Amino acid sequence: MPRFTDTIAALATPAGTSAIALVRVSGPDAGRFAREILGEIPPPRLARHGDYQDRAGALIDDALFTFFPEAGSYTGEDALEISCHGNPFIAQKILEDLFARGARSAEPGEFTQRAFLNGRLDLSQAEAVMDLIHARSERALAAANQQLRGALGRRMNELTDRLLGALARVEAYIDFPEEDLPAEDRAGIRRVLESLATDTARLLATSHYGELLRDGIKTVIVGAPNAGKSSLLNRLVGHERAIVSPEPGTTRDFIEERIIVGPHCLRLIDTAGLNPDPGAIEKLGMEKSLERVAEADLILLVLEAGQPLPTLPGTVTDRVSTGRAVIVVNKIDLGPTSVELPFPNAIPALKVSALTGAGMEALIAAIVQLADSFQAVDKEYFIAVNARHSDALTRAKVGLEDAMAKLAMAGPIELIASDLRGTLASYGEIVGKIDNERMLDQLFATFCIGK
Ligand SMILES: Nc1nc2c(ncn2[C@@H]2O[C@H](COP(=O)(O)OP(=O)(O)OP(=O)(O)O)[C@@H](O)[C@H]2O)c(=O)[nH]1
Ligand SMILES: [Mg+2]
């Protein structure tokens, strides 16, 4: 049974002029609204064309009405979708009329929050709805779809079942304090906890990949002044985004653009050139560049073909030597294409001309290949946990480790059980078995209105 007595309404499409706008209604009055406006409730999930007249009988628009009975609706309660002409004024008139008929304006994310609270989605699926809306690359889309289909939820249920088995075995001895846990039981429980700790760690290890999927791969372009960093950014972005000039020290501030390469989304960041003998302002810019290098997921080091290797700060050469970097040998159109590289051969070096575009395809292929390798674990599950999941998983893992340590020292059974119950609660948080309304409100408040 749906638990809400009020009916919410909101515009589900962006405010602005468009071909169509969608007003969404959910709650017990959705059917009544349809009956009042159309004279009857249309058959479930079939679009029905009709005039939208307000309560005073004035025609607002002709629209398409679709009624979703609670059994098959997104929110798990009666819902009505009204597709009208994409004019914000029309949508506003329709909303005002619905409010006059008894609906109230929906909060951000409230439709999805209702879907969750009515048991249509677990919390990880509700989050996946957001991921899906914001997915910018094929990989992000695939991961969001998997999560929306319950991949993470199923994984958590499986871990929870195994943990419940172990907890039942431990708790069986709580009522018999005089009996110590027999050695074979101890060993059996330990094996289950060890495998749970391993699987929890595997999930946790996907969190960095999750960040890359959701935020994009932070890719920092560095190099000496005038090496062609901004030209490279422009070439990759496909238009003149950054100022390019023959004068060294052109770029002072950071320019960031998102681009799609293959199935990946990159957050491409242009930086100020690394001058071994900088002026005061340049120095400030360089310090900032080095901070970006430290936070980068991927480095594109731009060098000039045929020029002696510039003096680069240790932070940069170290980062490049340890991988997750591509060396871009630029300006090959000027003649010489050789450059001396003091880096391990494993670091890909690509020869390009940001001016003519030569070599760009191979460079992009090298970036894609490197980005492919970031998805380190659990390819078969395609799970990439978010920061909230990662926090819960970390606590779950600590609980398992504490329980194992106590088990090894033949510690009190009650305390072992208590650690495991903590882990159980942390697992539960991921799919939303929680009694924390504030936390839920906060989470759904990050959604958009009408979702
Ligand atoms: N011939 C040739 N010139 C290039 C190429 N790439 C960049 N340039 C030129 O090199 C100069 C500097 O290019 P920028 O892209 O501004 O270099 P930058 O590394 O961003 O420079 P700073 O921001 O000053 O550090 C400009 O005159 C560009 O036109 C290239 O592949 N071939
Ligand atoms: Mg520049």
Average pLDDT over residues 46-60: 96
Confidence of residue 339 (pLDDT cuts 50, 70, 90): confident
* Residue pLDDT, tens place only, 139-153: 899 889 999 999 999
* Residue pLDDT, tens place only, 246-267: 888 888 888 899 999 999 999 9
Cα torsion 142, 148, 151, 157 to 10°: value is 160
Is the domain of 33 the same as that of 49?
yes
Residue 227, ligand 1, Cβ within 6 A: yes
pLDDT of residue 259: 94
Average pLDDT over residues 318-344: 88
Stretch among 54-68, 274-288, 308-322, 387-401 having the lowest mean pLDDT? 274-288
221, 222, 226, best to mutate for ligand 1 pocket (most atoms within 8 Å of CB):
226
Residue where one domain finishes, among candidates 117, 137, 156: 117
Q: How many angstroms separate the CA atoms of 256 and 242, rounded? A: 9
Instruction: State both tokens at 337.
Output: 């294409």
Residue nearest to atom 13 of ligand 1 (CA): 228
Residue 384 has pLDDT above 90, yes or no: no
Q: What's the chain's length in residues?
A: 451
Residue with more model confidence, 52 or 3:
52
Average pLDDT over residues 273-297: 86
* 180, 399, 407 from 184: Cα distances, Å: 11, 22, 12
Residue 341 has pLDDT above 90, yes or no: no
pLDDT of residue 181: 78
Average pLDDT over residues 260-277: 90
Residue 377 has pLDDT above 60, yes or no: no
Count up the domains in the chain and report the number.
Answer: 3
pLDDT of residue 378: 55
Q: How far is CA 415 from the centre of its chain?
A: 36
Give, as one character, the DSSP assignment of residue 71.
G
Assess if residue 377 is contained within a domain: no
Residue 376 has pLDDT above 70, yes or no: no
H-helix or E-strand containing 170?
Answer: helix 151-171
Radius of gyration of the chain (CA): 29
Assess if residue 305 is contained within a domain: yes
pLDDT of residue 277: 80
pTM value is: 0.81
Given a contact cutoff of 8 angstroms between Cβ atoms, the answer to whether 11 and 23 are in contact is: yes
* Exposure letters 419-432 (e unless 16+ CB within 10 A, then b): bbbbbbebbbbbbb
How far is the centre of ligand 2, averaged over its atoms, from the C-alpha of 367 (Å)?
Answer: 21
Is the domain of 368 the same as that of 220?
yes
Q: How many angstroms separate the CA atoms of 229 and 252, rounded? A: 12
Which ligand is located closest to the Cα atom of residue 236?
Answer: 1
Nearest one of 373, 389, 425, 375 to 203, comparing CA atoms:
389
Q: How many angstroms separate the CA atoms of 170 and 161, rounded? A: 14
How far is the centre of ligand 1, averaged over its atoms, from the C-alpha of 323 (Å)?
Answer: 25
Helices (H), 216-322: 229-237, 280-295, 314-321
Given a contact cutoff of 8 angstroms between Cβ atoms, the answer to whether 231 and 355 are in contact is: yes
Residue 381 has pLDDT above 70, yes or no: no
How far is the centre of ligand 2, averaged over its atoms, from the C-alpha of 295 (Å)?
Answer: 20
State which residues form the domain around 70.
8-117
Residue 110 has pLDDT above 60, yes or no: yes
Residue where one domain finishes, among candidates 89, 117, 145: 117
Is the domain of 102 the same as that of 149?
no
pLDDT of residue 336: 76
Q: CATH no. for residue 40?
A: 3.30.1360.120
Residue 20 has pLDDT above 60, yes or no: yes
Is the domain of 146 the same as that of 178?
yes
